[in-house]
């Protein structure tokens, strides 16, 4: 039994960290006043940044943000429990080299530092369906609808991890917490 798991906003709270760091960046680097519209959909709209500022911010800070993103509550215990019960744990991340020197190393170091057990890591993926098929993934967990859609269309079971942007998505079984993942696996896969 093999479980494929996304990184950002599935196992770690990347978006929350982006907002905190964008607020700091606006005040400290750009001489701004920080968040202008807390209800905006996306962080660069929250900051009221012009086109192009997001790229500059990511070039300067994305590596630091991903390196320092907090692990989600329960993630370590649930994943390690499943690993210890014999499940293969494959991390499959879209993280690219565009703003990060070495996405594989960054991801591996973060997982090791946070004490998360795993079988294998993929970074710089496309839709993730190729990695899921290659690894014989039975269950795939991601917060991004498009990845769930592609992997699901290959006949693989998916769970959509709730994030700030996917509340309206109804096509996939949704989980809000890592304990719900454990319940689902125990119920459906006898884990
Ligand atoms: Mg994600």
Query: What separation in Å is there between the alpha carbon of 92 and the centre of ligand 1?
Result: 10
Instruction: Give pLDDT, residue 168.
Output: 94
Instruction: Give pLDDT, residue 124.
Output: 95
Instruction: Give pLDDT, residue 73.
Output: 98
Quote the CA–CA distance of 12 and 17 in Å, as a whole number.
10
Instruction: Give pLDDT, residue 36.
Output: 94
Query: What separation in Å is there between the alpha carbon of 75 and the centre of ligand 1?
Result: 14
pLDDT digits (tens, 9 = 90+) for 116-128: 999 999 999 999 9
The alpha-helical segments, DSSP class H, found in the chain are 14-28, 43-47, 53-68, 75-84, 103-113, 129-134, 145-153, 178-189
Percent of the chain with pLDDT over 90: 95
pLDDT digits (tens, 9 = 90+) for 90-144: 999 999 999 999 999 999 999 999 999 999 999 999 999 999 999 999 999 999 9
Domain locations along the chain:
2-13+71-189, 14-68
Residue 45 CA to its chain's centroid (Å): 21
What's the Rg (C-alpha) of the chain?
A: 17
User: In what side-by-side order are the strands of the sheet with 120-122?
Assistant: 120-122, 88-92, 2-5, 139-142, 157-161, 173-175
Is the predicted pLDDT of residue 190 greater than 90, yes or no?
A: no
Query: Are 148 and 45 within 8 A, CB to CB?
Result: no
Is the predicted pLDDT of residue 191 greater than 70, yes or no?
A: no
Instruction: Give pLDDT, residue 174.
Output: 98
CATH number of 2-13+71-189: 3.40.50.1000
Query: What separation in Å is there between the alpha carbon of 54 and the centre of ligand 1?
Result: 18
Query: What separation in Å is there between the alpha carbon of 31 and the centre of ligand 1?
Result: 30
pLDDT digits (tens, 9 = 90+) for 66-75: 999 999 999 9
Query: What separation in Å is there between the alpha carbon of 93 and the centre of ligand 1?
Result: 7
Query: What separation in Å is there between the alpha carbon of 48 and the centre of ligand 1?
Result: 24
Query: What separation in Å is there between the alpha carbon of 106 and the centre of ligand 1?
Result: 15
Query: What separation in Å is there between the alpha carbon of 74 and the centre of ligand 1?
Result: 17
Reported as a pLDDT band with limits 50, 70 and 90, residue 41 is confident
Q: Would the pTM of this model clear 0.75, i.e. be above it?
A: yes
Is the predicted pLDDT of residue 161 greater than 90, yes or no?
A: yes
């Amino acid at each position: 039994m093999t479980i494929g798991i996304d990184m950002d906003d599935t196992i770690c709270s990347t978006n929350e960290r982006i907002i905190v760091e964008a607020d700091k960046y606006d005040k400290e680097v750009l001489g701004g006043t920080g968040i202008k519209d807390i209800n905006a959909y996306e962080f660069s709209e929250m900051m009221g940044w012009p086109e192009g500022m997001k790229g500059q911010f990511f070039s300067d800070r994305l590596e630091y943000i991903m390196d320092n993103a907090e692990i989600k509550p329960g993630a370590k215990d649930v994943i390690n429990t499943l690993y210890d019960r014999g499940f293969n744990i494959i991390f499959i991340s879209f993280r690219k080299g565009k703003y990060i020197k070495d996405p594989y190393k960054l991801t591996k170091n973060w997982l090791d530092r946070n004490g998360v057990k795993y079988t294998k890591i993929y970074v710089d993926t496309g839709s993730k369906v190729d990695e899921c098929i290659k690894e014989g993934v039975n269950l795939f967990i991601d917060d991004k609808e498009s990845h769930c859609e592609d992997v699901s269309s290959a006949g693989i079971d998916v769970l959509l991890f709730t994030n700030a942007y996917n509340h309206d998505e109804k096509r996939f079984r949704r989980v809000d917490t890592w304990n719900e993942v454990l319940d689902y696996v125990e119920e459906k896969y006898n884990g």
